[in-house]
Amino acid sequence: MLKDRTMTRRNKAVLIGAGGLLLLVAIGALVLTSSRSQADAVPPGSRPRAVEVGTVGRATLSRSVSAVGTVVPLSDVTVSSETSGRILKVLVKVGDTVRGGQPLLLVDAELREAAVEQASAQARAAEAQAEKARRDLERSETLFASGDIADVELEVYRLALRSAEAARAAAAAGLVQARRALRDTRIAAPGNGLVASRKVEAGEMLAPGMEVANIIDISSVKIKLSVPEEEVVQLSAGQEVTVTVDALPGLRLPGTIYTVGAKSESPSGHTYPVEVIVKNDQQASLRAGMFARVEIRTGVAEDALVIPKEALIGEGARASVYVVEDGVAWLREVKLGLQGQDSLQVLAGLEQGDRIVTFGHKVLRDGSAVRYK
């Protein structure tokens, strides 16, 4: 009996302890819930938001257009044969520098030389015949004036002179053709440049139209670019550019815009061809086919009021930033000018020294409290 009473007292103690523990947990949960409810009830604008800020400053800002293009020769000429015959001698090799008119190869000219001699002889004979016909006409005109011959005979001499003059002209044309055919056996460079390729060897037979060499002029080179429509409107012929080439580290070359295309050449229709000319001296050593990076400065602002790009909210007429004053962020519209790589020119809306939010503005509203280091 005594044992049962002892067990009952112990059970009551356990129950009382467990009940007390549950009561403490319930009170803690209630306090925590109350604290959260009170925190949530605080207006968002009154809770400081953690942000990063920057200061409006001044700098020289430039706007530029950048593009990657391919180096091509200023001129690229395929030299083809205008004659037929066997090649006697090839006078150049790939990589040689040539001048305009310099012979590249010689073709067997024996038959052409004979043709020139024949045409020259025919031209001399035709000239003599024409001179004889002119004198005969002069004599006949004298006889006609004295009445010794009739006008019919005079007309015969006139026709003979016209025929002789036509024969003389034909013979002269034949001589020109023969001389041209002879010159064609000496195939020459059409202009100054480098021999980029040679297609023939001595002993081969040539035919009219056959390619014999490729001559390129890289004393200056062109760089062909494709520029998007929103940037091509900022470009015009004569603008100065800076060229760099990955294959030649550290080299920066000045250049000039040569042409700006008026018609898109891309399938999408949104890029336009632009050509840049660069002088290619020995220091540059640019080669056709290289990739080149071109930077074209399209505007510059000295001592401009500038802000970092990451501070901007919106674009165009709706562009604005958050200005921090006494721990509060205020939304303020700004008028922008030039756009640099990392900075923006501000024309109106801010003053030098203003603090602006550069990170964290996505969670802000006009009048939000902020905190920053």
Residue 23's pLDDT is what? 43
Residue 214's pLDDT is what? 96
Residues 306/59, Cβ–Cβ less than 8 Å: yes
Helix/strand/coil for 126: helix
Residue linked to tokens 């090649």: 87
CA angle at 85 for the pair 84 and 90, rounded to the nearest 5°: 110
Residue 20's pLDDT is what? 46
Q: Give me the mean pLDDT over the 307-333 stretch.
A: 87
Q: Give me the mean pLDDT over the 207-219 stretch.
A: 94
Lowest mean pLDDT among 10-19, 195-204, 327-336: 10-19
Give per-residue pLDDT as tens, 251-281. 899 999 999 999 988 777 789 999 999 998 7
Tokens, residue 227: 């520029």
Q: Give me the mean pLDDT over the 160-169 stretch.
A: 96
Instruction: Give the C-alpha separation, 244 to 253, whole Å.
Output: 7
Residues 59/346, Cβ–Cβ less than 8 Å: no
Count of alpha carbons within 13 angstroms of residue 205, beta-carbon side: 1
pLDDT at 249 over 50: yes
Lowest mean pLDDT among 18-32, 115-129, 221-235, 295-309: 18-32
- On average, the pLDDT of the chain sits at 85
**CATH code at 49-62+301-371:** 2.40.420.20
Residue 284's pLDDT is what? 61
Instruction: Give the C-alpha separation, 288 to 280, whole Å.
Output: 11
Looking at mean pLDDT, say which of 177-186, 303-312, 356-365 comes out highest. 177-186
Residues 287/311, Cβ–Cβ less than 8 Å: no
Helix/strand/coil for 223: strand
Residues 322/351, Cβ–Cβ less than 8 Å: no
Residues 97/72, Cβ–Cβ less than 8 Å: no
Residue 25's pLDDT is what? 42
Residues 275/223, Cβ–Cβ less than 8 Å: yes
Q: Give me the mean pLDDT over the 190-207 stretch.
A: 94
The residues, ordered by sequence, that sit 6+ positions from 225 with a Cβ below 8 Å of its Cβ are: 67, 68, 69, 273, 274, 275, 276, 294
Residue 12's pLDDT is what? 44
Top-tier CATH class for 67-71+217-299:
mainly beta
Q: Where are the domains of the chain?
A: 49-62+301-371, 67-71+217-299, 77-198
pLDDT at 24 over 60: no
Give per-residue pLDDT as tens, 59-97. 877 778 889 999 999 999 999 999 999 999 999 999 999
Instruction: Give the C-alpha separation, 61 to 40, whole Å.
Output: 46
pLDDT at 304 over 70: yes
Residue 32's pLDDT is what? 41
